Amino acid sequence: SLAGKTAVITGSNSGIGLGMAWELARAGADVVLNSFTDTEEDHAIAAEIASETGVTAKYVQADMSKGDDCRRLVVAAGGCDILINNAGIQHVAAIEEFPADKWDAIIAINMSSAFHTTAAALTGMRERGWGRVINVASAHGLTASPFKSAYVAAKHGVVGLTKVTALETAEDPITCNAICPGYVLTPLVESQIPDTMKKYNMDRETAIREVMLTRQPSREFATTEQLGGTATFLCSDAAAQITGTTISVDGGWTAL
């Protein structure tokens, strides 16, 4: 059980981060949710997790594009035994057309935030003698696609940071790994299904199989619950010697 541990999950008011928060809470960890939005809904999600699972759950606003906010999040959490760097955005354009401000935002949110939060969290983990840093990278941390220069660069960077963090904590009871999802069924992806069905005049299953999941050999999405389960496994004693590596949850994408 993860009772008594506090997990800070960046970018966790939707999608994979929220799925990880739920699974860690079900495993007994107190959870700190984050986004830059600070809406009533954000606080309501934390209250729902607390009432359903019995753990302490709170929401802390912080903008992961800003280094100071990243560090403030870890401090405001009041302890961070499990750090999940999950916040991320995407922009798709050819390099010549790629807006420089989008490049900077993606590098900041998808990569540099993990440097700042990790820097803020490690001292406490060393003092308490236990820690787990989990970076949510991507199949695009290991392979590339055209038109995703900033995202692919940031995710490869996160995989590199994961290895360095693991080496610097290797003699402490702290591990750092990257989870590399393929295509995950988040609300964002779900909302693209009707348009894809209409555009190709296909039923739901065919649109998913033949259009959306062409690079995912399983032809099935990974789910946020499965990503949460992977994070929970990395927090278990069984995973104590797993460090500095990547775990793909991608239906075979990176085996191709």
Q: Which of 11, 131, 157, 228 binds ligand NAD (CB under 6 A)?
A: 11
Nearest CB to ligand NAD, comparing residues 27 and 109 = 109
Instruction: Name the minimum Å distance from CB 151 to ligand NAD.
Output: 7
> Binding to ligand NAD by residue 109, rule CB under 6 A?
yes
Instruction: Name the minimum Å distance from CB 24 to ligand NAD.
Output: 15
Query: Each residue of 113-152: b (16+ CB within 10 Å) or e?
Result: bbbbbbebbbebbeeeebbbbbbbbbbbbbbeeeebbbbb
Instruction: Name the minimum Å distance from CB 249 to ligand NAD.
Output: 9
Which distant-in-sequence residues (6+ apart) come within 8 Å of 200 by Cβ? 206, 207, 210, 211
Active site residue 59: no
> Do the Cβ atoms of 122 and 68 come closer than 8 Å?
no
Nearest CB to ligand NAD, comparing residues 62 and 166 = 62
Residues present in the chain in total: 256
Q: What ranges in the chain are assigned the alpha helix state H?
A: 15-26, 40-53, 67-76, 100-106, 113-128, 149-168, 187-190, 193-200, 204-206, 224-234
Per-residue x/- marks for ligand NAD, 85-104, CB under 6 A? -xxxx---------------
Helix, strand, or coil (residue 202): coil
> Binding to ligand NAD by residue 162, rule CB under 6 A?
no
Q: Which of 59, 151, 183, 200 is catalytic?
A: 151
For the segment 166-185, give every residue that binds ligand NAD (CB under 6 A). 181, 183-184
Nearest CB to ligand NAD, comparing residues 35 and 177 = 35
> Binding to ligand NAD by residue 251, rule CB under 6 A?
no
Q: Which residue numbers are catalytic?
A: 151
Residues that bind ligand NAD (CB under 6 A): 11-17, 34-36, 63-65, 86-89, 109-110, 136, 138, 181, 183-184, 186, 188-189
